A and B are shown apart, each in its own frame.
Chain A
Amino acid sequence: MSKITMREAISQALMEEMDRDAAVFIMGEEVGVWGGTYAVTKGFYDKYGPARIKDTPIAENAIIGAAIGAAMVGQRPVAELMTINFAFSAMDYIVNQAAKLRYMFGGQFTLPLVIRAVGGGGRQLGATHSQTPDAIFAHFPGRRVVSPGTPEDAKGLLKTAIRSDDPILFIEHATMYQVRGEVPEGEYVIPIGKSKIQRAGRDLTIITYCKGLELSFKAAEELSKEGIEAEIVDLRTLRPLDMEPVLSSFMKTNRAIVVEEGWKSFGIGSEVASRIYEQAFDFVDAPILRVAQKEVPLPYNRTLEQAALPQVADITAAAREVLK
């Protein structure tokens, strides 16, 4: 095992897959000469050249639309959205085209496309550049949604995504590129659509993913000092949602909270909680609580922004509440 950052993990996954398969290329805003606005593709342009590292115009419809076209005719593009907030400009491609074309034409072609997008608040970027709209994308069938919370998962899941014959939205978090974690030496991949227990515990189940995982780890440490042992289930993939580890954990702890960075209403927490109620009602000992973002556009001011985002203290408070 070696310890690397999230940025290095994603960068390694991209490079390994580009070296493995000539059909893989990267396109997006500032991915080339600039080296990626989050420096994920730093050095790629010099190594692979402009044919495989394509700097695009600032035109999200062209980026995702053209990537879909190239995928339909046999290439394996990795299209980067500088931030997931710009996905709204390309919503037709992410929702209408990538997710539906194969079905609508009776399965005549594959659409091996990865859309990488950076989301999340906490960098004082203002309301339109700080969103965590993952639930919107997970809502639509036809395109998988992956959002890792550790470098190990980011690398293994991205490699699988690039090898997949189906469109995948791969959501990263803007404040997590420096997060360090152990990754296995050498080649490995991680299957998409599998939740994972990231921390074992007996008292309650915290279901989360991506940034929520980082916060939940910290919350679990604090709770541990009080003698509360939280089990953390990391969803890793939002569509399809793998409930098996969630349910088996819940049937053991009988109490759960769901932690996400997005807004609470109509969110990931609502979906997970509903499924627990539907599938494990007899095991419920306390209402399932949701920890999520306050229902406001994220403000610029740091104090206000942090007040809107879910915090470790919100998680520990919710944990104590379900254990009452």
Chain B
Amino acid sequence: MKKEVLLDLYYQMVLIRRVEERGAELYQQGRIGGFMHLYIGQEAVSTGLIAAREPRDRVITAYRDHGVATNCGISAKEVMAELLGKVTGTSKGKGGSMHMADTSKNMWGGHAIVGGHLPIASGFALGDQYAGNDNVTLCMFGDGATNIGYFHEALNLAKTWNLRVLWICENNQYGMGTAVERASAVTEIRQKAEGYGMKNGQVDGMDVMKVYSAAREAIDFVRKTSQPYLLEADTYRFRGHSMGDPERYRKAEEVKQWQENDPIGIFNKYLLDKKATTRKGLDEIEARVEIEVNQAVEFAEASPEPALEELFKDIYAE
């Protein structure tokens, strides 16, 4: 990977983190409503994965979607504006934190019904198959989504109909507050693909370079063979499930242990070890992020609320 590309990935990861840290502050001030789920700790998964796609490949994810939106090229301004419910947001303020999309960038949304977007992902791939192209649909979801029927119907259909879907399970060890082993018959989620005769793999989701390589390989496989693939990324969210999480289900030491494996820290070290940049170079990136985040907040705050007429728009196309 070229140096500029590596540094851009670092920029994206820091940007996701800082946008969310600012978002959390605004949430606590009551400026952001509804549910908000932070991606902090999991940035390497989406960043490595989406770096490996081609622009024509579609991305769809669950409600922990701010990072995915950023990786797909949605600006921090639009993300922040959506969080504040402004008309300049990704979804004109009608979607909120859990529903960010920009189909022009092939980001088909955050989806908030657990597992609900998986059959839709099969449908994207079905649409592409019907159109005769070899686009790949990248469908991201958490470990919790693999216990619900949608997951199984979607995987079965994808395998039976040879649909080009890369299923990416972000195993962050908990479905809300319930540990994987308390909710899933198998703790290695990738095993569930075996039942469908589906190729699968596992990757360290805290290391962006490892995610990138695994995703490249998996996307190539899906595109060339017209077969789905399930990739499990082991990861961890450093913050609560959502902003209102008392975190009674895990110990502070466990969180601390994972935080020592901070994906940004790991990549920071990698870049310095590989001499892709210097400490000063990384500081400059972080300073650029600060400017972008500040501008995003200013933009979002200055943006207008949706007009009341928007209430009745976009329900139907005709």
Contacts and interface: CB of A to CB of B under 8 A. Distances in A.
Interface of A: 25, 51, 54, 56-57, 59, 61-62, 64-75, 92-93, 96-97, 101-111, 141-142, 144, 164-166
A69 B122 contact: yes
A75 B130 contact: yes
A141 B315 contact: yes
Nearest to A60: B153
A162 to B, nearest CB: 13
Contacts of A144: 316
A72 B108 contact: yes
B130 A65 contact: no
A226 B89 CA distance: 65
Interface stretch (B90-98, B173-181, B234-242): B90-98
B127 A75 contact: yes
Contacts of A67: 123
B119 A70 contact: no
B120 A74 contact: no
Contacts of B101: 105, 108
B1 interface: no
A138 B90 CA distance: 29
B149 A61 contact: yes
Contacts of A56: 157
Contacts of B118: 65
Interface string B82-111: 000000011111110001011100001100
B300 to A, nearest CB: 16
A54 B162 CA distance: 13
6 closest A-B pairs by beta carbon, nearest first, are A69-B123, A65-B119, A107-B314, A106-B92, A66-B123, A73-B127
B58 interface: yes
A102 B126 CA distance: 19
A65 B127 contact: no
Interface centre among A25, A54, A66, A97 (most CB of B within 10 A): A66
Nearest to A110: B317
Contacts of B99: 104-105
Given A25-B130, A57-B153, A97-B120, A92 B113 contact: yes
A102 B317 contact: yes
Sort chain B's interface into a size bin.
Answer: 35 or more
A107 B116 CA distance: 20
Contacts of A51: 130
Contact of A166 (B119, B126, B316): B316
A104 B318 contact: no
Contacts of A66: 119-120, 122-123, 126, 154, 157
B150 interface: yes
B313 interface: yes
A61 B153 contact: yes
B185 interface: no
Contacts of B252: none
B119 A62 contact: yes
A165 B128 CA distance: 18
B79 interface: no
B157 A165 contact: no
B156 interface: yes
A215 B141 CA distance: 50
A165 B317 contact: yes
A66 to B, nearest CB: 4
A73 B122 contact: no
Contacts of A70: 123-124, 126-127, 130
Contacts of B92: 106-107
A69 B160 contact: no
Given A69-B126, A103-B314, A104-B99, A62 B131 contact: no
B318 A164 contact: yes
A107 B127 contact: no
B165 to A, nearest CB: 10
Given A57-B153, A72-B127, A74-B131, A102 B119 contact: no
B19 to A, nearest CB: 20
Interface centre among B92, B95, B317 (most CB of A within 10 A): B317
22 contacts: A62-B157, A65-B154, A66-B154, A69-B119, A69-B120, A69-B121, A69-B124, A69-B126, A70-B123, A70-B126, A71-B123, A72-B123, A75-B131, A92-B113, A97-B113, A102-B317, A103-B94, A104-B99, A106-B90, A108-B91, A109-B103, A166-B317
